[in-house]
Amino acid sequence: MKCIVVTPEKTEIDRDASFVVAPIFDGEYGIGKGHTPVVARVGAGELRITSPEGEKTSYFIEGGFLEVSGETVSILTDRVLPPEKVTVADAESRLQRAKELPQTNSDLAAMKEKALAGARGMLAAARKWSKK
Amino acid sequence: MAKARALDKRRKSIRNIRKITRTMELVATAQFRRAMERAVSAGAYTQRIAAMVADLARAGASVSHPLLEERQAKNGAALLILTANRGMCGGYNSSILRKGHHRADELKGDYEKFRLLVSGKRGVSYAKDRKIELAASYDQFNDKPQYDDVVKIADFILSEYLAGNIDRFEVAYMKFISVSKQVPVVETLLPLSELAADDTADGSAGAKGAEYEFLPSPESILEEVVPTAFRVKLFKCFLDAAVGEQIARRVAMKAATDNADSMISILTTTYNRARQGQITNEIIEVVSGASALQG
């Protein structure tokens, strides 16, 4: 199975995997070999890729889409960060900024909701990694 | 000797200029290659988005979204002009500014409120010289525009659009067609005209023919795809502009180097002639002096 992660700037990750756990809009989503074709919205959080040798690698990804077709998992995301670049302080200041966004109409409220969800996902991932 | 020396001095300074233009040409070539690579690798994302839209359409999701609808209201419009931070790139900046300025005048007449945004120091100083009011100016974009920086602008525009402050958003930039051809264009980004940015991607996506499961629903994914498509489109404009700038600079610097070359060869000929003339003169003087003594 192949796991490809693409950002608008470039293809960040392109390698073999035996198992992929991706953060989607309502929780984590595990994809193994022979998974049914799926298109899903990606949330913010930890992406775990298990290599065929059983080695696990984590990344922080945020927003975008996940597509499973055949033996390929492709993730289109806005941002990919290695765990060491995600800090609790950054995530907290982002959450603060998201809380201050206006929500005067339904579209703006939806944007605020998204910003909040992104910041919370980042905070959760940062807290998890800072404990290690 | 005075004339020959002056010519030699001039030739030397042209040689120095030639060195500089030649170096700039090489730098621009390298940067162009890098910018081009970035533009190509960004294509992977656009193609996949387009493929996904095709899949969604086949799954029966009705393609409607506030960003796709043409608005009747003519309250406000915004135009973003992408220029370079530096000059020395031939007619690159002036051709975009001419195009952008023309469009700005049209929009000003059609819409009640008009806002002009400019990226690049060249454009900012152009507006300053003509006392044109700018709603925002950006100069953080150089030959490597970052997606995160572009998203900040895109999200600002999106929120203004959704709040109803602007009903139309256009971008004036240098569109990349091929290495030898770039044209200044004004493109409407909001409302988005079509989602599939690359029409080539549709065919390849359709060939797969897999039945997808959509989480949470095709509509919800579409809701997310539309703003993403807008951001990516804007990012593509920035990438195209960066490529165009480097090509324009390379061409301009190549022309400058060639001009310096031909100037040097003309000056060399004139210098040699002047030197020869001088030597002839001196010999004549010596000979006539000697013959005067003999006589």
Average pLDDT over residues B204-212: 55
Q: Are residues A71 and A45 in the same domain?
A: yes
CA A31-A32-A37 angle, 5° bins: 60
Residues A80-99 have pLDDT tens digits of: 998 888 888 888 888 888 88
**B20, pLDDT greater than 90:** yes
Cβ-defined contact of A41 to B215 (cutoff 8 Å): yes
Nearest CA-CA distance, residue B25 and chain A, Å? 26
CB-CB contact of B186 with B100 (8 Å) = yes
Q: Are residues A101 and A40 in the same domain?
A: no
Could you identify the residue written with the tokens 């040798």? A53
Share above pLDDT 70 across residues of chain A, in percent, rounded to a whole number: 99
Distances (CA, A) of B199 to A129, B235, B256: 42, 18, 39
Average pLDDT over residues A70-76: 90
Cβ-defined contact of B212 to A76 (cutoff 8 Å): no
pTM of the model: 0.84
The per-residue pLDDT for A31 is: 93
The per-residue pLDDT for B63 is: 66
Share above pLDDT 70 across residues of chain B, in percent, rounded to a whole number: 92
Average pLDDT over residues A20-45: 91
Nearest CB to A8; choose among B56, B163, B232 = B232
Gap between the Cα atoms of A108 and A106, Å rounded: 6
**Strand pairing report for B213-215 and A38-41:** parallel
**Structural domain ending residue among the three candidates A65, A81, A97:** A81
Task: Provide the mean pLDDT of chain B.
Answer: 87
CATH of domain B40-247: 3.40.1380.10
The per-residue pLDDT for B159 is: 86
The per-residue pLDDT for B207 is: 42
Tokens matching residue A76: 């289109």
Q: Are residues A16 and A51 in the same domain?
A: yes
Query: Which residues in chain B have their CB less than 8 angstroms from residue A78's CB?
Result: 147, 151, 228
Q: Are residues A119 and A93 in the same domain?
A: yes
The per-residue pLDDT for A116 is: 85
Q: What is the three-class DSSP state of B270? A: helix
Q: Are residues A110 and A67 in the same domain?
A: no
Average pLDDT over residues B233-248: 92
**B209, pLDDT greater than 80:** no
The residue range of the domain holding A98 is: 86-131
pLDDT band at A49 (very low <50, low <70, confident <90, very high): very high
Cβ-defined contact of A40 to B228 (cutoff 8 Å): no
Q: Are residues A68 and A93 in the same domain?
A: no
Tell me which of A63-72, B2-11, B192-201 is least confident. B192-201
Cα first-last separation, chain B: 29
Same fold flag, B2-31+251-288 and B40-247: no
Between B211 and B132, the higher pLDDT residue: B132
Q: Are residues A73 and A112 in the same domain?
A: no
Nearest CA-CA distance, residue B215 and chain A, Å? 5
Gap between the Cα atoms of B202 and B51, Å rounded: 6
CB-CB contact of A16 with A2 (8 Å) = yes
Nearest CA-CA distance, residue B255 and chain A, Å? 32
Q: Are residues A91 and A76 in the same domain?
A: no
Q: Are residues A14 and A67 in the same domain?
A: yes
**B29, pLDDT greater than 90:** yes
Nearest CB to B45; choose among A8, A38, A41 = A8
Residues B92-136 have pLDDT tens digits of: 999 999 999 999 999 998 898 999 999 999 999 999 999 988 998
CB-CB contact of A43 with A25 (8 Å) = yes
Tokens matching residue A115: 């910003």
Q: Are residues A70 and A96 in the same domain?
A: no
Share above pLDDT 90 across residues of chain B, in percent, rounded to a whole number: 51
The per-residue pLDDT for B93 is: 94
The total of structural domains in chain A comes to 2
**B202, pLDDT greater than 60:** no
The per-residue pLDDT for B274 is: 92
Query: Which residues in chain B have their CB less than 8 angstroms from residue A117's CB?
Result: none
Domain ranges of chain B: 2-31+251-288, 40-247
The per-residue pLDDT for B1 is: 55
Cβ-defined contact of B215 to A8 (cutoff 8 Å): no
CA B190-B194-B198 angle, 5° bins: 120
CATH architecture, domain defined by B2-31+251-288: Orthogonal Bundle (1.10)
Task: Provide the mean pLDDT of chain A.
Answer: 88
Average pLDDT over residues B193-200: 52
What's the CATH number where A18 sits? 2.60.15.10
Q: Which phi and psi angles does B117 have, rounded to 5°?
A: -115, 140
Tell me which of A29-33, B209-213, B247-251 is least confident. B209-213
Nearest CA-CA distance, residue A10 and chain B, Å? 5
- B249-273: string of b/e by CB count within 10 Å (b at 16+)? bbbbbbebbeebeebbeebeeebee
**Structural domain ending residue among the three candidates A42, A62, A81:** A81
Contacting residues for B88 by C-beta, under 8 A, at least 6 apart: B24, B249, B252, B253
Query: Which residues in chain A have their CB less than 8 angstroms from residue B235's CB?
Result: 8
Residue of B nearest to A26 (CA): B216
State the best of B147, B156, B157, B160 to mutate against chain A, taking most chain A CBs within 10 Å.
B147
CA trace torsion B161, B162, B165, B166 (10° rounding):
30
Distances (CA, A) of B145 to A6, A47, B27, B148, B201: 17, 26, 18, 9, 25
The per-residue pLDDT for A132 is: 66
Cβ-defined contact of A39 to B147 (cutoff 8 Å): no
Q: Which phi and psi angles does A44 have, rounded to 5°?
A: -115, 135
Q: Which phi and psi angles does A76 have, rounded to 5°?
A: -100, 115
Could you identify the residue written with the tokens 């033996």? A71
pLDDT band at B203 (very low <50, low <70, confident <90, very high): very low
Cβ-defined contact of A39 to B44 (cutoff 8 Å): no
Could you identify the residue written with the tokens 């539309």? B226
Q: Are residues A74 and A107 in the same domain?
A: no
**B192, pLDDT greater than 90:** no
Q: Are residues A109 and A65 in the same domain?
A: no
